[in-house]
């Protein structure tokens, strides 16, 4: 430790007076905001103090620090391997789009045009034609799909890319959740039949569920977006939807779209089928972004800072020496180093904090702020008893476990598994407590006021959703559909739409959202 | 096969008439240009026909297809693991730079300003201040290094990012070699002492050598750049230099810069050392890009197309069935599938091409075009003798090897190792044949005319290099220094500079370059 990138800001805070003016509160010792009282400020403080994010001098752009990138890379490794099993191949298309193709699909560009950033100059010269920066790559890629796809043997065409995209949003930017540049993967596939496209949409959606639930320990609801909320220019959109109890807002976690044949028509992506007839392809596109990380922070974080699920934590276990007066400090340090060695060799991500200029208590707070799932404390008494004390970040539970190699490894692994599971369970319980099933407009308004995730019978008419939006407009933002869950409760005959009074066609989640 | 992304363009070429106008020669069956006759056109044809690159509708931007990305990912996996061992951590800084910081280091921005792309609009609105797209990230990152680095415990700070950068070049764009957007990694490190910085510069340079020599089988020369050729704003630059015999041009393969304390001064990156004194950090930056792939294509490619070193090939072995009249075609196909299974299980990247609408001969040409290192042919006679025929891409050598599992695996692995080694040996021999050691100006001019890689005694004066550039200006481009190799021949006392006649201080490589 000490000479690693983490823990940088700390030493600043203990020095007498910061040398630069921009230095504010960078100490890892506690947050000034509380999650339940001041959620927005709490969130900003956590992502900065946990050293995930540094604010940048261009609004809406953020620096992703190593503590963040480790999480991103873990998810990437999982997802990339999974899509490779599905024979999806990685490629890289340019950052730039010419205006002609960008505007080819009308609904699509209407959805993105206001947010597109334009390059108009290079050096001192004006470009002949302004060039757009990709907000997403449908229009970048599909002219080439048209070129590459000729016969049925060219299908399916299944590509993915890991890249940055730019959406020059004007609403309140939020680290991870709403930023002007973000990292994502975008998959773009083309099939001969709708059936194949439909199948893939759900296969990918399941991977997104796994990212949220199995890695980030965030419960999500799988479902279909409404016509109003679907991807601009697409056929239908499925998503995994998360929920932030503190703000009572839903958040679209990741989307898997079936584009149907709409882009195929616009970009002339046709093929000769096995009967020698010309046919249009069926297309999908799907993406998840660094937003995932923001959702995780919001769901698990507490008043001590970040809480990381073990599966994505850069450091799963932090070992802290607890020297005491006349005790043999060197022996304690040696035990810490040997504990790191034992656990590392067992495949865990472990570090020890041997810095001599911080107290154990300070270190506890620091690593709690950074969200490390498990802390191991080693003091003279532990040494004497050949044990170590382990403290869980999620529950603050303390246990003593034996120092003996195999026993320690097994027990630490078991505790980490429990933490991973507990984070999901607790988050699910909190989310479920927010779910309110309603049937009438009055109940809807009441539930909305209580920041609920509202499950309501709906007639599935676009005009009705627009009407609900208009009627709930206000300071907090309007309510809208989040998704129609695949897992549908029984819809009794005669059930009416909560908003229009027409016969309901489905149960749909409604609420405010990010 | 058949429904994978590769081999897409082929089926187009055999169809009667392309449906789209932009369809030109996309067949894998032979090149129209020869490497020795028409190098530039040959190169463009290879990268397109091997399905590495697709030309894009914005000049200087290229689509990197899966065949390319597999190579990039293999190198990335190696390099990323190596730098992680060195405790370098990944991060991600924004694509955008505000003009203020971009212009902070004068020499640096002078070097990059003409190539910087500027965003001036979002949607229909003009931005208040134009925003630059990073051509490299020194000025993006270092304001934050200033903020993060306070005391000696914050050092070293060692970060890396994998990202895209944009340099709006106006000279002739060439796929991989000179493009307006490219992928790279950029490492940015800060140390308390010059000694640490110096050490890291060479450690990274050694990794770059390994990428070229051990992965891409391209011989490179390690050395130091001249004052004129070093990184704008840096202290000194080291590089690995490759050479393209066909054009007689050197090409800078990758660079590892010591930035000295210059940026530290401009960006106020100081720390309190262990004596409590304020000191400036020593910095390095280092990068390699997708250019590496272009160098590999140029060095190994031949008149049949691409030649891939086994270590980076997406497909190392292609298995082609060779049915014959009444022979049992199904048995042949089964043998192909089982061969793929055997070799895959041994960790090799193997595919079989069972398409029924192409002849074996067509398939041979196709996979030769794509540069697959080893072809296995299985026909009725092979089946009868329980053997397979293997054909090397690099030498066209044919051998029969037994079909028996272990023997086949061992022999195929051995042959792949030989191919990897042979590609490097042959490339090294060709490169070495181009090296010409000279002592006088006349010899220099003669060697330059013969497209040599010229090793010359030099006085190491900037004015003399400028003078040589001026005197050799012409259609082919001027000669300049490539590097002063670390591996210096003896410089006998009294040796004079080939260009100035002053006492020579070192042996330096000169030539035309990319």
| pLDDT per residue as tens digits for the range B396-425 | 999 999 999 999 999 999 999 999 999 999
**C-alpha–C-alpha distance, residues B224 and B140, integer Å:** 26
With H, G, I as helix, E, B as strand and everything else as coil, classify residue A66.
Answer: helix
**C-alpha–C-alpha distance, residues B110 and A421, integer Å:** 55
Tell me if A90 and B98 make a contact (CB, 8 A cut-off): no
pLDDT on residue A169 = 80
Give which of B140, B150, B171 to mutate to test A binding, by max A Cβ within 10 Å: B150
- Alpha carbon of A246: minimum distance to chain B alpha carbons (Å): 29
Instruction: Name the residue in chain A with its Cα closest to that of B67.
Output: A91
Task: Using an 8 Å CB-CB cutoff, list chain B residues near A89.
Answer: 4-5, 66, 69-70
Tell me if A164 and B159 make a contact (CB, 8 A cut-off): no
Q: How confident is the model at residue B109 (pLDDT cuts 50, 70, 90)?
A: confident
**C-alpha–C-alpha distance, residues B184 and B135, integer Å:** 11
Strands in A350-352's sheet, in edge-to-edge order, are A350-352, A317-321, A374-378, A387-392, A398-402
**C-alpha–C-alpha distance, residues B291 and B179, integer Å:** 9
Return the number of other C-beta atoms located less than 10 Å from residue B342's C-beta. Answer: 18
The token pair that represents A322 in the structure block:
């607890």
Per-chain mean pLDDT for chain A: 93
**C-alpha–C-alpha distance, residues B499 and A43, integer Å:** 64
Exposure class string for A403-413: b at 16+ Cβ within 10 A, else e: beeeebbeebb
Q: Is the ipTM here above 0.90?
A: yes
**C-alpha–C-alpha distance, residues A349 and B141, integer Å:** 28
Q: Among partner residues B4, B18, B95, which is closest to A164 by beta-carbon distance?
A: B95
pLDDT on residue A228 = 96
Q: Among partner residues A65, A92, A116, which is closest to B64 by beta-carbon distance?
A: A92
Residue B434 phi/psi, 5-degree rounding, is -90, -15
The token pair that represents B375 in the structure block:
């072809």
Q: Of B337, B334, B312, B310, nearest to B392 (Cα)?
A: B310
DSSP conformation letters of A306-351: ----TTT-S-SEEEEE---TTS-HHHHHHHHHHHHHHHHHTT--EE
The alpha carbon dihedral of A422, A428, A431, A434 has a sign of negative
- pLDDT of A14 higher than 60: no
Task: Using an 8 Å CB-CB cutoff, list chain A residues near B155.
Answer: 3
Tell me if A156 and B131 make a contact (CB, 8 A cut-off): no
- Alpha carbon of B363: minimum distance to chain A alpha carbons (Å): 15
| pLDDT per residue as tens digits for the range B329-377 | 999 999 999 999 999 999 999 999 999 999 999 999 999 999 999 999 9
Tell me if A11 and B154 make a contact (CB, 8 A cut-off): yes
Q: Does B91 touch chain A (CB under 8 A)?
A: yes
pTM of the predicted structure, to 2 decimals: 0.93
Q: Kindly state the average pLDDT of the residues B192-216.
A: 98
| pLDDT per residue as tens digits for the range A79-97 | 999 999 999 999 999 999 9
pLDDT on residue A289 = 98
| pLDDT per residue as tens digits for the range A253-289 | 999 999 999 999 999 999 998 899 999 999 999 999 9
**C-alpha–C-alpha distance, residues A20 and A36, integer Å:** 32
Which whole-number Å values give the CA distances from B484 to B440, B455, B458, B488, in the listed order? 18, 9, 10, 8
Please report the residues numbered 93 through 152 in chain B whose beta carbons come closer than 8 angstroms to any beta carbon of chain A.
Answer: 93-98, 100-101, 113-124, 130-131, 133, 143-144, 146-151
Per-chain mean pLDDT for chain B: 93
Q: Does A164 touch chain B (CB under 8 A)?
A: yes
Q: How confident is the model at residue B53 (pLDDT cuts 50, 70, 90)?
A: very high
Tell me if A120 and B121 make a contact (CB, 8 A cut-off): yes
Q: Does B53 touch chain A (CB under 8 A)?
A: no
Least confident of A46-55, B11-20, B34-43, B73-82: B11-20
pLDDT on residue A26 = 40
| pLDDT per residue as tens digits for the range B56-88 | 999 999 999 999 999 999 999 999 999 999 999
Helix axes B194-210, B66-85, angle to 10 degrees: 150
Cβ contacts of B292 within 8 Å, gap of 6 or more: B75, B176, B211, B212, B216, B253, B254
Which whole-number Å values give the CA distances from A368 to A8, A319, A360, A417, in the listed order? 15, 12, 12, 18
């Amino acid at each position: 430790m000490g000479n690693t990138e983490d823990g940088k800001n700390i030493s600043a805070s203990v020095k007498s007076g910061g040398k630069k003016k921009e230095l504010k509160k960078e100490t890892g010792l506690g947050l000034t905001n509380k999650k339940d009282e001041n959620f927005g400020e709490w969130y900003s403080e956590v992502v900065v103090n946990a050293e995930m994010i540094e604010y940048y001098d261009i609004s809406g752009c953020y620096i992703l620090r190593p503590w963040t990138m480790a999480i991103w890379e873990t998810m990437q490794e999982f997802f990339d391997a999974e899509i490779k099993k599905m024979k999806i191949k990685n490629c890289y298309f340019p950052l730039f789009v010419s205006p002609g193709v960008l505007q080819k699909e009308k609904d699509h560009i209407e959805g993105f045009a206001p947010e597109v950033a334009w390059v108009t100059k290079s050096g001192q010269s004006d470009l002949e034609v302004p060039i757009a920066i990709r907000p997403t790559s449908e229009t970048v890629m599909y002219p080439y799909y048209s070129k590459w796809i000729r016969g049925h043997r060219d299908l399916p065409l299944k590509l993915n890319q890991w890249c940055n995209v730019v959406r020059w949003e004007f609403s309140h930017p939020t680290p991870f959740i709403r930023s002007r540049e973000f990292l994502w993967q975008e998959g773009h596939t083309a099939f001969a039949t709708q059936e194949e496209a439909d199948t893939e949409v759900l296969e990918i959606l399941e991977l997104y569920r796994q990212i949220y639930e199995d890695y980030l320990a965030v419960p999500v609801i799988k479902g279909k977006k409404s016509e109003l909320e679907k991807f601009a220019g697409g056929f239908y959109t499925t998503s995994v939807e998360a929920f932030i109890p503190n703000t009572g807002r839903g958040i679209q976690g990741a989307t898997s779209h079936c584009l149907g044949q709409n882009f195929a028509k616009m970009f002339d992506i046709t093929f000769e089928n096995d009967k020698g007839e010309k046919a249009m392809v069926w297309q999908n596109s799907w993406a998840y972004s660094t937003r995932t990380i923001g959702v995780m922070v919001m769901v698990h974080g507490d008043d001590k800072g970040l809480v990381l699920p073990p599966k994505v934590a850069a450091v799963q276990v932090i070992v802290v020496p607890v020297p005491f007066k006349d005790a043999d400090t060197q022996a304690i340090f040696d035990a810490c180093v040997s504990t790191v060695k034992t656990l590392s060799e067992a495949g865990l991500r472990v570090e020890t904090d041997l810095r001599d200029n911080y107290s154990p208590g300070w270190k506890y707070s620091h690593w709690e702020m950074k969200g490390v799932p498990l802390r191991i404390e080693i003091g003279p008494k532990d040494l004497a008893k050949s044990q170590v004390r382990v403290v869980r970040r999620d529950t603050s539970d303390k246990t003593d476990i034996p120092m003996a190699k195999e026993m320690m490894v097994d027990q630490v692994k078991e505790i980490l598994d429990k933490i991973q599971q507990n984070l999901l369970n607790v988050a699910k319980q909190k989310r479920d407590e927010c779910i309110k099933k309603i049937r009438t407009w009055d109940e809807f308004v009441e539930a909305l006021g209580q920041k609920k995730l509202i499950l309501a019978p709906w007639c599935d008419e676009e005009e009705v959703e627009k009407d609900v939006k208009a009627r709930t407009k206000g300071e907090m933002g309007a309510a809208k559909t989040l998704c129609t869950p695949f897992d549908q409760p029984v819809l009794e005959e005669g059930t009416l739409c909560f908003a229009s009074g027409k016969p309901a066609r489905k149960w749909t989640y409604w609420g405010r959202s990010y």
